[in-house]
Amino acid sequence: MLHALHAKTRPQLLVGFAAGVGFGFLLQKGGVTYYDVIIDQLLLKDFTVVKIMLTAMVTGMIGVHLLAGLGLAQFHPKPGALGMTIPGALIFGVGFALLGYCPGTAVGAVGHGALDALLGGVVGMLAGAAAFAAIYPKLKPILGKGDFGELTFPRLLRVGPWAVVVPVAAAVIALLYGIGRAGW
Amino acid sequence: MEIFTTPRWSPYAVGVGIGVLSWLTFLLSNKPLGCSTAFVRSAGLVERWFRGRKVDEKPYYQQFKPQIDWEWMLVCGVLVGALASSLLSGQFQWAWVPAKWAAEVGTGAAGRWVVALAGGFCVGFGARWAGGCTSGHGISGTLQLAVSSWIAAAGFFAGGIATAMLLYHVILA
């Protein structure tokens, strides 16, 4: 692991910025910084968003597991709980459809001049995050319901990582092929 | 250099690009790609302007300190990257209302602004409730095979598809 580089604060901020430039460039080139593309995905008329996310997920999954196997990467699975992950994701989903952008693509949309993404999206997301911070102490009991921590599928199934990576990669590639064949 | 000036790339090429980018962030920064914590940190920074250092005592801001960190810089980079990409392809354009909204709902900026603001609020609130967004859970979490992220990704799309269908097929139909 590149521990020395990971510990340097200022160079890390630069790496973060550079990664963001790459990410924003790719999101715009993929068309997913556009409201129309995201809404047509949620209306199941255009599968661009799903194609990008699944391809990124498979590519990332294989590479990051290889890096981890070589001792060059550490996993950071997010903790979860039924009371946290399910209601949070559904509220997010409602907002996703009303806004027509998610946090990253909203910022990308601002980059190509979408003012609804700036004055509605970014302002709304800041207000939503602040509101969550305000009521967080009261929500804590709900958030902790059905806590399963930083669980991963290999740990849940008590198998090695590749026993999950290989079938998931195969299934996702088959799904992408099917979506392509169906002309979506 | 036509590749940089063309308006759209294949979604598979973009997906592979984002996947490779995630290898780099794990390798160089020991971090997954993610966007939503930058919003809670920024919200804390804005609150601090108005209410001073007392804001830092809020339990949630102790967990996510109001400061400029790696992910905050990443989000700034997203703005610059999308700006550069749209300028190179000649797609940069100030717009109040997206094309589909204009065609189906109307060209009034106020209506779109209100709905976008409500949507943004739910996105910001829901992302913090779920502990991540379409990048942090949807891409970075699923690629790490995190159970929380697979559930979250399913929930994002379940809520999103139901709301979009209701909006476009029932309310606006």
Domain assignment present for B107: no
Domain assignment present for B60: yes
Domain assignment present for B125: no
Helix (H, G, I), strand (E, B) or coil at B131: coil
Contact B155 A85 (CB under 8 A): yes
Domain assignment present for B70: yes
At residue A87, the pLDDT reads 98
The string of pLDDT tens digits covering residues A114-159 is 999 999 999 999 999 999 999 999 999 999 999 999 999 999 999 9
Domain assignment present for B170: no
Nearest to B138 by CA among B118, B115, B116, B158: B158
How far, CA to CA in Å, does B44 sit from each of A26, B53, B71?
A: 29, 10, 15
Q: What six digits make up the tokens of A58? A: 């498979």
Nearest to A35 by CA among B124, B147, B96: B96
> Which residue range forms the structural domain that includes residue B66?
1-93
Domain assignment present for B19: yes
Compute the Cα dihedral for A117, A29, B132, B100 and give only its sign.
Answer: positive
Domain assignment present for B65: yes
ipTM: 0.97
pTM: 0.97
Q: How many domains does chain B have?
A: 1
- B2: DSSP letter: H
Contact B99 A58 (CB under 8 A): no
- The answer to whether A134 faces chain B, any CB pair under 8 Å, is yes
Least CB-CB distance to B123: which of A22, A56, A96? A96
Contact between B97 and A116 under an 8 Å Cβ cutoff? The reply is yes
Domain assignment present for B21: yes
Q: Kindly indicate the confidence band of residue B1, based on its pLDDT and cuts at 50, 70 and 90.
A: confident
